Structure 1
């Protein structure tokens, strides 16, 4: 309930600001344009809480109907806000210039002209940005090929390839083709190991099972592995049913545990820990269970949905952590806010002496829009 109240408060505040800056100064009191734009903001604003939380209350069928218009308006609203805020200084300069110009010609209201120009620029800019973002989000993920050197890696394992995908977000806005495309692209990489690093779904098995079925066709030499993300704990039935479903599809879940990957006569530990959100249901990460008592001479790669988990992983001598969660910011300039919560936004980095790769994810959450953070499937090649 608190989450929904926060959404409503933010939505109301943003819409009031947009009305005050884009509608009020550009239209005349009582005019038809003012009434039309005012009611449009009211109706569109009401869609947002329904799109975000309606599925939990009214079910997936309702969410299918309301999600597209609601989430698309969320993206347009966000970029209207960004462009309007960015225009505050130019607008103020233009208004100041009109004051200094003194008396204006008859029939011309310079302030209305400035307001309408700013509203037009903000509207066109927002729509163009969202259009570009939709095309990016719904297009093929980018294949990122990343070589990573591990000092403890046995030279015989050099060249081992790990396909990494995260944040697929199978949900009300995706069809079966979303998973089919991801599976096809991963199989084209001919990876030795496939790893799915959380946030696979946004719903129950009953609702989304058929859309996830293509995962059955994932191909790799040493298997496909999964760890939970925060969204697996948001589903009404919890993550366990998806763990069982994935097992039936040939994808093994690593639940605070590790497995040995034997290759060319050498061995690497592949470990996985539960997401932090599992803590509320006593299903959180257990680093000791996943990493304790292992052979310290053997390299270990850890699957952990959230990059922030690396701070504990570093204390267990992890060689490389693979994470997702951030979406690379998904819609710039959100990427500037991610460091407030996570140590790495995207790409290969090092935290507390431990290497970490954060993928931007292959799907999207909320609006089917990605700006400055294209979807990604990663091929990590380990080198001695």
Structure 2
């Protein structure tokens, strides 16, 4: 408990520090004190993280779904914007002194130089004015107050362009460029998610696959993440894309939803339109266990998908097995490889549906030929792929582990921010190939 509290304090302190840095570079350094722009920027830096926290907590707190949808867009998008604003500003820290130096050199070259031969005029002899019959006015003698007044008169007006210092100019250039880069990146990443996934085609040779199953096509879709942002239209795009590939089998490998059947049941209804010669199958992901896994398993069955809960079914030419997600262990509903694969005929090819790639060691131990997974999102937001590589054996694509091959899809949706950068969403058409063909 103490460790959890300490971790929470560290996270809050880190987020506070990051937001202070963003406020400093994008608000304080580029605006005038007391201006409307500074007040608006400061308010945004305070309100936006609160919206992000509310968006993250709303689902588990039982907030009405309509309010969840209202909070989700600004709250989740700010998380993505914050990431790329900070990255861009950090790059700007390296550019800032270089740009300032260039401006200083340019100003120095433009400043007029005094001629070397110029000498000051001869001073007027003391008392010359009196000798000329005139009286010196004490007010005409410059004093400290006059010097300050003259200096102020010579200084450019605060409202003129010349009053903007080089430091302020550089801050505005760097801050504006960073903000524009972040907005452009997040905007393009959001378009990629809302447009829908693209089809990726992969051929997987399997040594034990019979000639009759050569060319068998499995449409693999994972991490759809229906929720407050991605709803029924998102599901319909995915279903239409899958049906256009005319697969022999559809495999939905977890993280279908982020919410209850009561809230998201209508959003999942287009799954009933999936068309495949040998049907559609489903295994749970970790997010199903945050959303009521038992209810969702029953609901997808009603929609025409067959859940594989630590079980297998014999297909033409291979065995198709599925295991529950490791997150189910908290509910005594975790993966059971013995039940799914223990007594099978090992001369037959086996294809395993498992949400998380980390179970690959169990797949190898049970002689699986091909494991189909998701979960990683390919990192979703670069450089998140670097973190995903630390936690997963494979982040995306096809790799071999002994006699077992593992294919990991980047997923068809997005968790949290509806944004993908460097990890485009996909639906993969996996074509099995027999070496006997």
Which segments of 5 or more consecutive residues in structure 2 lack a partner in the other structure? 112-154, 156-162
- Which residue does 1:243 correspond to in 2? 297
Q: Is the 8 A contact 1:12 1:45 kept in 2?
A: no
1:87 aligns with one of 83, 88, 92: 92
| Alpha-carbon distance between aligned partners in 2 of 1:177 and 1:36, rounded to the nearest angstrom | 35
1:61 aligns with one of 66, 75, 97: 66
1:140 aligns with one of 192, 196, 199: 196
1:163-312 → structure 2 map (5 Å cutoff) = 163-235=219-291, 238-262=292-316, 267-312=317-362
Report whether the alignment pairs 1:380 with 2:427. Answer: no
Which moved further from structure 2: 15-24 or 70-79?
15-24
The secondary structure found in structure 1 opposite 2:209 is coil
Report whether the alignment pairs 1:24 with 2:28. Answer: yes
Q: Is the 8 A contact 1:168 1:364 kept in 2?
A: yes
Distance verdict in 2 for CA 1:31–1:181, change over 3 Å: closer
Q: Is the 8 A contact 2:369 2:403 kept in 1?
A: no
Report deviation, 1:250: 1.2
Which segments of 5 or more consecutive residues in structure 1 lack a partner in the other structure? none
Which moved further from structure 2: 103-112 or 346-355?
103-112
Report deviation, 1:225: 0.6
| Alpha-carbon distance between aligned partners in 2 of 1:333 and 1:138, rounded to the nearest angstrom | 21
Q: When the two structures are superposed, what TM-score results if normalisation uses the length of structure 1?
A: 0.92
| Alpha-carbon distance between aligned partners in 1 of 2:244 and 2:206, rounded to the nearest angstrom | 25
1:38 aligns with one of 42, 65, 75: 42
| Alpha-carbon distance between aligned partners in 2 of 1:45 and 1:252, rounded to the nearest angstrom | 41
| Alpha-carbon distance between aligned partners in 2 of 1:320 and 1:87, rounded to the nearest angstrom | 46
Deviations 1:186-222 (Å, cap 9, x if unpaired)?
1111111110000001111111111111111111111
Q: Is the 8 A contact 1:227 1:273 kept in 2?
A: yes
Report whether the alignment pairs 1:158 with 2:158. Answer: no
| Alpha-carbon distance between aligned partners in 2 of 1:69 and 1:261, rounded to the nearest angstrom | 46
Q: Is the 8 A contact 2:313 2:321 kept in 1?
A: yes
Q: Whose radius of gyration is greater, 1 or 2? A: 2
| Alpha-carbon distance between aligned partners in 2 of 1:352 and 1:150, rounded to the nearest angstrom | 13
The secondary structure found in structure 2 opposite 1:118 is helix
Report whether the alignment pairs 1:360 with 2:410. Answer: yes
- Which residue does 1:127 correspond to in 2? 183
The secondary structure found in structure 2 opposite 1:274 is coil
| Alpha-carbon distance between aligned partners in 1 of 2:98 and 2:326, rounded to the nearest angstrom | 48
Q: Is the 8 A contact 1:167 1:200 kept in 2?
A: yes
Report deviation, 1:358: 0.8
Report whether the alignment pairs 1:48 with 2:52. Answer: yes
The secondary structure found in structure 1 opposite 2:59 is helix
Distance verdict in 2 for CA 1:9–1:232, change over 3 Å: farther
Q: When the two structures are superposed, what TM-score results if normalisation uses the length of structure 2?
A: 0.81
Aligned length: 378
Report deviation, 1:119: 0.5
Q: Is the 8 A contact 1:345 1:358 kept in 2?
A: yes
Misfit runs of 4+, over 4 Å: 1-10, 95-106
Report whether the alignment pairs 1:75 with 2:80. Answer: yes
Deviations 1:64-115 (Å, cap 9, x if unpaired)?
1111111122221121112112222122444566788998987342222111
